[in-house]
Amino acid sequence: MRKVVLWFIAAFTSASTLIHGAGAERPNILWLTSEDNGISWVSAYGSQNAKTPVIDQLAKEGFRYTHCFDNAAVCAPTRSSWITGMNAVSLGTQPMRSRYEIPHDVIPYYPDILKEAGYFVANCTKTDFNIGGRIDASAWDETKAKFAWRQRKPGQPFFCIYNATSSHEKTAHRPYVPNEALLEGAEDIKLFAYHPDLPEVRNNYLQYAQAVGNMDAEMGTILQELKKDGLYDDTIIIYNSDHGGVMPRSKRFLYASGIHCPLVIRIPEKYKHLYPAEKPGMTVDRLVSFIDMPKTWVSLAGAKIPETFQGTVFLGEGIEAEPQYHFAFRERADERKDNVRVMRGKRFAYHKNYMPYAPTGQYLGYMWKGSIGPAWENEYREGRTDEITGRFFERRVPEEFYDNVEDFDNVHNLIDASEHQAKIAELKQALRKEQLRIYDSGLLPEQMRLRRAEAHQMTIYEMVRDPKLYPLESYLDAADSALEQNPTNLDQFVKGLEHTDPGIRWWAINGLLLLYADAAPATDALKKALKDEVSEIQMMAAWALVECGEQELGVAALDQLLFGDCDNVEMLHNIIDWMGEPGLPLVKKYIENGGSREGKYGVVSILGHVAELNGW
């Protein structure tokens, strides 16, 4: 397959000569990325918590983009999108740590294209592309050396990535220990509006601010070595984070703190024809999505862009028209299920929650390793949070709408505000159009779409592009009906449970669950759905019965799945937790029967956490 990939890419190789001319000097490109910090953690963007003098100086010498956004809010799906130039949700690689395969003979990686165009390409040290069927390192000439440009051939242009890990979430995982010196330093920390003001919270913020400072120093070391080698004025330098973060409700989430990212680009004077503004030190207001980056890097290098790329060139001679909106997506993060889409511009953002019955603040083992998660959850359980700080742990509404200028923290949902209905309708229409354009693969549960693709010996990418196997428009319509939470749709949902397509049945059962007690007239249909051939529909039917007052029957059905043969145990554990109190006897029985308390990455599992909270 690798030979096919290279043959496919070779067709683009001649574009460098066409764009730059024979013998013309092509720019070196150094791409600096940091982990887990949004604009709120960079002093060039006004951070009150962190100091980043190296990045600030780069902004003075270059151009600071004010509206740059990640598409995925977490690392692996983001890098899946970067390496292919396609949104991970279009590939089927959006669930965290899934590594589902894609057709590599159809979808090239952008470093392959750069390599074939004559560039030396290196990536130090993070790949994490979340894609199966190909070794991540195969796209690069070098994946370990810190100053990899030194390995290129004489005169060869280079494209090198350096990824700073010192700002990663794990740097905020140290346990909270009261310390007067630390607390004194934490007094000036500015908290997001949704976090309760607790010593544990301020301590975590302060720890992370120190980590960001270490990251900035890392960047300084790389730039110093570039200067030492006499390459500083021959190299376009790009800096951005890989997504927002890092405190709970930022990384992994599609609010501004999770996707609004710093982007600074320094362009040497010899390439001033590429300036995005009149002179260095200026800001650039253009909307940039992460999906635009691989397409732009390939364009800057003079290589021809493959048709598979879904972004927009935002810099250089091949610059394209500015897009009106940014598209973002969220699905499974580690063991936690979710499904959210966002369409936003520079100011307003529309959020669509396809699983509103799940709280935003689901326990997630890795995220709870920091001191904020447990302290915040305890504050909520003790009844000491308010409408803003407590909302994280409650069921969501299907739609949210935010003014990111007046409310960067996204705590005031304006979805019902009359003055915004025209903009909301516009963004909803734009979202649907984009979902159809890129073949959004997330309208079926993860395991359901995987089973369907495997049954037809296809990748998910191929399956969702076959309208007979994945009628996306019908699924979008069915999902919209379910999210209306309108009792007048009850008969439609009951009829939907008889449909031959499990995807339609999935949205029908979601519709009935989201009616809660109002779905009681459909009790017979829900009982019948307990015998559906699809386990996800069975477990949702059981939960819906609990909500309709048939708790004994619903819990018994979940008990049978939990201790019987279930092909989606991860989803089942999520549902039992989401149910709350009616699911507690199941958790107790699970623990007493030797169920695992340990989840991924050596952290406490979902049901193990419920057991801990209840002293089991």
Q: What is the DSSP string of 404-454?
A: TTT-TT--S--TT-GGGHHHHHHHHHHHHHHHHHHT--TTS-HHHHHHHHH
- Widest Cα–Cα separation across the chain: 77
Q: Is 493 helix (H, G, I), strand (E, B) or coil?
A: helix
Q: Is residue 594 part of a domain?
A: no
| Domain final residue, candidates 422, 456, 484 | 422
**Of 514, 330, 536, nearest to 444 (Cα)?**
536
Direct distance between the N- and C-terminal alpha carbons of the chain, in angstroms, rounded to an integer:
52
Percent of the chain whose pLDDT exceeds 70:
95
Mean pLDDT of the chain: 94
Q: Is residue 518 part of a domain?
A: yes
* 404 and 507 both lie in a single domain: no
Which of 9-18, 85-94, 172-181 shows the lowest mean pLDDT across its residues? 9-18
Paired tokens of 46: 């006004």
116/97 Cα distance (integer angstroms): 29
* 280 and 173 both lie in a single domain: yes
* 283 and 198 both lie in a single domain: yes
* 233 and 109 both lie in a single domain: yes
Q: Is 290 helix (H, G, I), strand (E, B) or coil?
A: coil
Q: What is the pLDDT, as a whole number, of residue 128?
A: 96
The arithmetic mean of pLDDT across residues 16-20, rounded, is 38
Q: Is residue 454 part of a domain?
A: no
Q: What is the pLDDT, as a whole number, of residue 12?
A: 40
The reported pTM is: 0.95
Cis peptide bond N-terminal to 125, omega within 30 = yes
Which of 170-179, 264-273, 471-480 shows the lowest mean pLDDT across its residues? 170-179
Distance of CA 144 to the CA centre of its chain: 26
Quick check: 195 pLDDT over 50? yes
Percent of the chain whose pLDDT exceeds 90:
91
pLDDT tens per residue, range 375-405: 999 999 999 999 999 999 999 999 999 999 9
8-state DSSP, 336: B
The arithmetic mean of pLDDT across residues 353-359, rounded, is 97
Q: What is the pLDDT, as a whole number, of residue 181?
A: 58
* 273 and 350 both lie in a single domain: no
The arithmetic mean of pLDDT across residues 90-99, rounded, is 97
Report the domain count for the chain: 3
Q: Is residue 228 part of a domain?
A: yes
Q: What is the pLDDT, as a whole number, of residue 180?
A: 62
* 164 and 297 both lie in a single domain: yes
Quick check: 437 pLDDT over 90? yes
Q: Is residue 592 part of a domain?
A: no
pLDDT bracket for residue 348 (50, 70, 90) = very high
* 156 and 68 both lie in a single domain: yes
Q: Is residue 530 part of a domain?
A: yes
pLDDT tens per residue, range 32-51: 999 999 999 999 999 999 99
Q: Is 611 helix (H, G, I), strand (E, B) or coil?
A: helix
CATH number of the domain encompassing residue 259: 3.40.720.10
22: exposed, middle or buried (Cβ count in 10 Å: 0-12, 13-18, 19+): exposed
Paired tokens of 459: 């990748």
Q: Which residue has the tokens 């949210």?
A: 400
8-state DSSP, 192: P
* 308 and 351 both lie in a single domain: no
- Beta bridge mates, 124: 162
Q: Is residue 442 part of a domain?
A: no
CATH number of the domain encompassing residue 531: 1.25.10.10
Quick check: 24 pLDDT over 80? no
Range of the domain at 126: 2-314
585/582 Cα distance (integer angstroms): 7
Contact 566, 533 (CB under 8 A): no
* 92 and 194 both lie in a single domain: yes
Q: What is the pLDDT, as a whole number, of residue 23?
A: 37
| Domain final residue, candidates 395, 422, 449 | 422
* DSSP3 helix / strand / coil % (the chain, rounded to 5): 45, 15, 40
* 114 and 235 both lie in a single domain: yes
* 568 and 497 both lie in a single domain: yes
Quick check: 174 pLDDT over 90? no
| Domain final residue, candidates 278, 299, 314 | 314
Pairing verdict, β 283-289 and 63-69:
parallel
Q: Is residue 602 part of a domain?
A: no
* 415 and 540 both lie in a single domain: no
Quick check: 183 pLDDT over 70? no
